[in-house]
Amino acid sequence: MTIVKQDFELFHARQLLSEHPTLAGLDAPLIGVLLNQAQIRHAKAGQTLFHEGASAQHYLLVLAGQIEIIRFSDSGEERVFGQFSDGQLVAETAMFMPHGRYPMNARARTDTRYCWLTRDGLRQACQQSPALAMRYLENMSMRVYKRINEVDWIAHSSAPQRLAAYLLDEQARQGTTIQLPLSQRQLASRLGVRAETLSRLLTKWQEQGYLEGRQRQWTLLDIPYFQGLSTEAQRAF
């Protein structure tokens, strides 16, 4: 990784932090605390930024590019838990974990510029601002709630229901044509189904005229059909 020291990059980082949903409205001096000892770094696609189990002394702000959070099973199978792009923070919750270690690996999905922010700066900012600490508590609570819902959904749903819900979510974010952010094998692992099952479902739905495409690019042709399958994934709150 090449560390570059450019004032305009740090200015860009300051702007992105001040616009981040959790940090919006913070006083400039508090943003300065977050940026204390910050470093601007570049990473090539495929480069690991931190490893699971390593000391968690830094979190990341994506300036440009994409970063993915992954874990490996005992057999070496890769599972992607999240992807982050411009303006998003990566691993900030790890800064509050009492064991002080990263729970996952971070890898650059594309050539990426990011800001390397310190654990000490974030914790100091939260100590100085109870309102910021409360925002982080609310944010983490919602993440836990979302994860509980996902685990419950996976435990009680079928493979077609899970895949339909995922495709609808991506369609809502991306529009008519979906570019899957994961490979089919990674997506199958995330949804808790066999890769062969996922491939057969996509082929079957394409033959039935519910969608069209190949590999990572798909277009949903029958939205009501997928909505009917994924109804159980929707909650009142």
* pLDDT given for residue 63 in this prediction: 97
Domain boundaries along the sequence of the chain = 2-129, 158-233
For domain 2-129, give the CATH number.
Answer: 2.60.120.10
pTM of the shown model: 0.82
* pLDDT given for residue 235 in this prediction: 66
- pLDDT of 4 > 60? The answer is no
Secondary-structure class of domain 158-233 per CATH: mainly alpha
Cα–Cα distance measured from residue 203 to residue 212, given in angstroms and rounded to the nearest whole number:
9
Cα–Cα distance measured from residue 193 to residue 158, given in angstroms and rounded to the nearest whole number:
9
Segment 45-85, tens digit of pLDDT: 999 999 999 999 999 999 999 999 999 888 888 888 999 99
CA dist list (Å): 234 to 80, 168, 190 = 23, 11, 18
* pLDDT given for residue 147 in this prediction: 87
Q: What is the DSSP string of 148-159?
A: HHHHHHHHHS-H
Alpha helices in 112-129 (DSSP H): 119-128
Neighbours of 233 (CB within 10 A): 19
* pLDDT given for residue 234 in this prediction: 63
